[in-house]
DNA sequence: ATGAAAGCGCTAACAT
DNA sequence: ATGTTAGCGCTTTCAT
């Protein structure tokens, strides 16, 4: 039972290929009798039009390319899941690629996707790309008029639709929340200082401090490199000043911070409040459960997919949009009660 | 700068399309001078062969379809990541689909993938599919000679390559481990009793009990339905007998069990030992950290991808293989020390 | 109501 | 060394 083609069906009925094509597509041009016979035959023999031929003919694939830096990160998984949901509803498929935070892989991937394989692309930049600030590969896509939506890790140098988390605002409001709680010596632990996202959060934090007339102290910002020892840096930090609030910019780091703080004998909540970014499963189940900034990854993904699909289907003007997803704070047990 | 074709290049140089094709593919048939000129022109103008045309011509897509039930489940994410890694290394792309545990969606997805979009398919069955035991959609693929690899949630009724976790053995060894610890009243909490995977683990558990001459008591098996209240069922269970070991068949359930047991005043480790299946991030960071059965998801994914690629590239015999991934126990703090 | 022919972009066997 | 032709499977004018 090999794949069957229009040609074969045509031979069976001794008609032309185009007749069969029309019959199968239920064209009114074909007589009722012949049409039903052909349709029935097609169904019985499980005829399926060859997608490759259709793609070539119609110059579209009904496929969206998705490039994420790392799928093992729950936030990106959530976004992916949101994209999938919308894409599926609207009849699109997902060609998924992982850049592994590598610039080179990202370039190759986008080059590939630009080759006609997909109708549009959704991407969040690799860390290395953000670091290098090289955006040519995105520009190439734009030059070829391939619809592109960037999310979360975006660049001002690329003119396309974007969906971002309001990281500045999130940093600001998180710091504010600490201040309202009565915390005054606020540290930040960032494992993502390379990225715009991380820096925006710190900027928001600075603004909150300045509004409260608290001088900014850079030594309270712990910037964690790939090979750094968090344990060690944390103990330096904790010895430096009597810290009563820590904001950790990703979930794993937040959980680690929690562990270290506990291990060093501090009482989380009473002595030190901790808030993490990214509200994933860990935050909920860790002890004490972690107050966290939710970035609504799934919703973000849905928004990105909708934006792209609208663009692909020409239902948007020529101006690019930047949609901003509001964060929200999920209060749990790692912060003082109000 | 719209996409450029061979035809356009041919016009520029006043040669035939096939000459250009050959030149670009660096054929020896073309004179050095012309060849380099064309190649240079192509490069400058960023010529990229149209993938759709190539696919049609060569009747392959260098794409693998992956269908997983749920990407928000860390195990599947790991598998996916493993597949991606190998696929990428071998020059394949991934068309990813999520069945959402739905039979219907799985059927539609496979129908779509069978339409020529991919060269081969890797799939783990939806829960509903396992429950209904309807395998026609897989059989259809096989009939059309589309290479298929099933993993983790597989069916004996589908004759194809498979990669599975040794769940029977895992259940057996986990129960054994409890017994060695001195635990004798072992409960199982299963939220996946619909699936082969869940039942195999329970079967392994039974074997270990019988070897130790402990009679099997079905009331110690807590089968959790979608809408059931774990909290309530757990308290019934804990009141039923003095349980000293609990084996939870998925990570979230394990973590919940841990929480409930703690909340009811039992000392995890001393009073009750808990082992979870699936060694994800949660297990590591929860308090107390959870002893867990690792299924080596990434490795499983790599194996599945390798198996499929070998099959697609015809480097395997006609017999189908079933590769078995051994589990291993990651001992942490939720179990008694030996 | 049916069919012939062109074409999507590319490759490759077969001329010249 | 270069060109011609056919064809991958399908849709879609434009005849008939």
pLDDT band at A115 (very low <50, low <70, confident <90, very high): confident
pLDDT band at B194 (very low <50, low <70, confident <90, very high): confident
Which residues is B162 bridged to in the sheet? Answer: B150, B322
Q: How far apart are CA B249 and CA B193, in angstroms?
A: 9
Nearest CB to B285 within list A3, A81, A286: A286
Cβ contact, residue pair B95, A94, below 8 Å: yes
Q: Which of B78, B182, B145 is nearest to A4 (CA)?
A: B145
Q: Determine the pLDDT at residue B55.
A: 95
Protein CA A6 to sugar C1' C1 (Å): 19
Instruction: With a cut of 80, say whether residue A297 has pLDDT above it.
Output: yes
Residues B325/B164, Cβ–Cβ less than 8 Å: yes
Q: H or E segment at A336?
A: none
Cβ contact, residue pair A56, B51, below 8 Å: no
For B338, which DSSP code? Answer: -
Q: How far apart are CA B88 and CA B68, in angstroms?
A: 18
Residues A171/A201, Cβ–Cβ less than 8 Å: yes
pLDDT band at A68 (very low <50, low <70, confident <90, very high): very high
Q: Which nucleotides of C are covered by protein (CB under 7 A)?
A: 1-13
Instruction: With a cut of 90, say whether residue B253 has pLDDT above it.
Output: yes
What's the rounded mean pLDDT across residues A23-43?
Answer: 95
What's the rounded mean pLDDT across residues B111-136?
Answer: 95
Beta strand residue intervals within chain A, DSSP E? 63-68, 93-98, 120-123, 148-151, 161-165, 186-190, 221-223, 245-248, 273-277, 291-294, 322-325, 328-330
> Measured in whole angstroms, how far is the alpha carbon of residue A119 from the centre of its chain?
18
Q: Determine the pLDDT at residue A220.
A: 98
Q: How far apart are CA B166 and CA B201, in angstroms?
A: 9
Tell me which residues from 18 to 47 on chain B have a beta carbon below 7 angstroms from nucleic acid strand C: 18, 21-22, 24-25
Q: How far apart are CA B50 and CA B5, in angstroms?
A: 8
The overall average pLDDT reported for chain A is 96
Q: Taking the CA atoms of chain B, what radius of gyration do you get in angstroms?
A: 26
Q: Taking the CA atoms of chain A, what radius of gyration do you get in angstroms?
A: 26
Nearest CA in chain B to A77: B72
What is the torsional sign of CA A21, A26, A31, A34?
positive
B326 upstream amide cis, omega within 30 of 0: no
Instruction: With a cut of 90, say whether residue B130 has pLDDT above it.
Output: yes
- DSSP H stretches of helix in B47-154: 51-58, 74-89, 103-112, 127-132, 136-143
**Angstrom distances, CA of residue A254 to CA of A42, A230, A283, B200:** 58, 11, 8, 37
Residues B24/B43, Cβ–Cβ less than 8 Å: no
Residues A235/A264, Cβ–Cβ less than 8 Å: yes
Q: How far apart are CA B258 and CA B235, in angstroms?
A: 13
pLDDT band at A3 (very low <50, low <70, confident <90, very high): confident
Protein CA B21 to sugar C1' C14 (Å): 16
Nearest CB to B281 within list A63, A95, A282: A282
- pLDDT tens, A140-177? 999 999 999 999 999 999 999 999 999 999 999 999 99
Cβ contact, residue pair B81, A98, below 8 Å: yes
pLDDT band at B88 (very low <50, low <70, confident <90, very high): very high
Smallest CA–C1' distance to C2, residue? A19
Q: Determine the pLDDT at residue B338.
A: 85
Q: Which of B13, B62, B80 is nearest to B297 (CA)?
A: B80
In this structure, are strands B93-98 and A328-330 parallel, antiparallel, or unpaired? unpaired
With b for 16 or more beta-carbon neighbours within 10 A and e for fewer, the B39-76 pattern comes to bebbeeeebbebbbebbbeeeebbbbbbbbbbbebbbb
Residue with token string 């130790």? B212
Protein CA B15 to sugar C1' D2 (Å): 8
- pLDDT tens, B57-70? 999 999 999 999 99
In this structure, are strands B93-98 and A93-98 parallel, antiparallel, or unpaired? antiparallel
Q: H or E segment at A151?
A: strand A148-151
Cβ contact, residue pair B84, A95, below 8 Å: no
In this structure, are strands B291-294 and B328-330 parallel, antiparallel, or unpaired? antiparallel
Q: What is the CATH architecture assignment of B61-165+297-325?
A: 3-Layer(aba) Sandwich (3.40)
Give A146 to chain B, closest Cα distance, Å: 10
Q: Determine the pLDDT at residue A198.
A: 95
CA atoms within 13 A of residue B8's CA, in its CB half-sphere: 12
Instruction: With a cut of 80, say whether residue B293 has pLDDT above it.
Output: yes
B34 touches strand D (CB under 7 A): yes
B17 touches strand C (CB under 7 A): yes
Secondary structure (3-state) at B163: strand
What's the rounded mean pLDDT across residues A58-62?
Answer: 94
Q: Determine the pLDDT at residue A194.
A: 87
Chain B hits for A255, Cβ within 8 Å: 285
Instruction: Give the global pTM.
Output: 0.95
The overall average pLDDT reported for chain B is 96
Which residues is B267 bridged to in the sheet? Answer: none
Ranges in chain B annotated CATH 3.40.50.2300: 61-165+297-325, 167-295
Instruction: With a cut of 90, say whether residue A10 has pLDDT above it.
Output: yes
Which comes out higher in pLDDT, residue B194 or A133? A133
What's the rounded mean pLDDT across residues B170-176?
Answer: 98
What is the torsional sign of CA B99, A55, B6, A308?
negative
pLDDT band at A92 (very low <50, low <70, confident <90, very high): very high
Q: Determine the pLDDT at residue B147.
A: 96
Which residues is B21 bridged to in the sheet? Answer: none
Q: How far apart are CA A134 and CA A311, in angstroms?
A: 25
Within 8 A by CB and 6+ apart from B18, the residues are: none
Give B3 to chain A, closest Cα distance, Å: 6
Chain A hits for B144, Cβ within 8 Å: 1-3
Q: How far apart are CA A322 and CA A332, in angstroms?
A: 31
Instruction: With a cut of 90, say whether residue B115 has pLDDT above it.
Output: no
Q: Which of B198, B174, B168 is nearest to B293 (CA)?
A: B174
For B218, which DSSP code? Answer: G
Q: Determine the pLDDT at residue A314.
A: 87
**Residue A311, phi then psi, degrees to nearest 5:** -65, -45
Residues B305/B87, Cβ–Cβ less than 8 Å: yes
Protein CA A19 to sugar C1' C4 (Å): 11
Smallest CA–C1' distance to D12, residue? A18
Protein CA B24 to sugar C1' C14 (Å): 20
What's the rounded mean pLDDT across residues A73-102?
Answer: 97
Q: How many residues make up chain B in this entry? A: 338
Chain B hits for A3, Cβ within 8 Å: 116, 144
Question: B57's torsion region: left (phi>0), alpha (psi -120 to 50) or beta?
Answer: alpha
A59 touches strand C (CB under 7 A): yes
What is the torsional sign of CA A151, B302, A128, A248?
positive
State both tokens at A80.
């992916």
Q: Which of A129, A108, A128, A126 is nearest to B88 (CA)?
A: A108
Instruction: With a cut of 90, say whether residue A1 has pLDDT above it.
Output: no
Q: Which of B47, B78, B281 is nearest to A72 (CA)?
A: B78
CATH number assigned to the domain covering A167-295: 3.40.50.2300
Within 8 A by CB and 6+ apart from A200, the residues are: A167, A168, A171
Q: Determine the pLDDT at residue A91.
A: 95
**B17-24 and B6-13 helices cross at what angle (nearest 10)?**
110
Nearest CB to A51 within list B48, B80, B117: B117
Q: Determine the pLDDT at residue B337.
A: 94
- pLDDT tens, A74-83? 999 999 999 9
């Amino acid at each position: 039972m090999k794949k069957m083609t229009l040609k074969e069906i045509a031979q069976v009925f001794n008609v032309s290929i185009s007749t069969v094509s029309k019959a199968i597509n239920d064209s009114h041009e074909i007589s009722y009798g012949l049409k039903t016979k052909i349709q029935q035959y097609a169904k019985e023999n499980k005829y399926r039009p060859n997608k490759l031929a259709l793609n070539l003919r119609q110059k579209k694939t009904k496929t969206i390319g998705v490039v994420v830096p790392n799928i093992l990160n729950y936030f990106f998984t959530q976004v992916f899941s949101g994209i999938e949901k919308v894409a599926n509803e609207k009849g699109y498929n997902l060609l998924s690629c992982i850049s592994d935070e590598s610039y080179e892989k990202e370039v190759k991937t986008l080059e590939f996707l630009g080759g006609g394989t997909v109708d549009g692309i959704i991407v969040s930049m690799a860390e290395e790309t953000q670091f290098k600030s090289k955006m040519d590969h995105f520009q190439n896509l734009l030059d070829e008029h391939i619809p592109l939506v960037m999310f979360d890790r975006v660049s001002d140098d690329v003119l396309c639709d974007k969906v971002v988390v309001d990281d500045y605002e999130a940093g600001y409001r998180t710091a504010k929340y600490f201040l309202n709680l009565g915390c005054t010596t606020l540290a930040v632990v960032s494992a993502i200082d390379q990225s715009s996202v991380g820096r925006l959060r710190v900027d928001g934090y600075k603004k909150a401090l300045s509004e409260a007339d608290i001088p900014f102290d850079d030594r309270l910002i712990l910037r964690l490199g790939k090979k750094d020892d968090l344990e060690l840096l944390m103990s330096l930090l904790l010895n430096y000043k009597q810290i009563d609030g820590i904001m950790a910019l990703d979930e794993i780091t937040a959980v680690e911070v929690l562990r270290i703080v506990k291990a060093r004998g501090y009482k989380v909540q009473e002595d030190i409040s901790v808030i993490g970014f990214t509200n994933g499963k860990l935050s909920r189940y860790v002890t004490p459960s972690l107050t966290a900034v939710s970035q609504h990854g799934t919703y973000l993904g849905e928004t990105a997919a909708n934006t792209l699909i609208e663009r692909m289907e020409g239902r948007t003007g020529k101006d690019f949009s930047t949609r901003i997803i509001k964060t929200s704070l999920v209060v749990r047990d790692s912060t003082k009660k109000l």
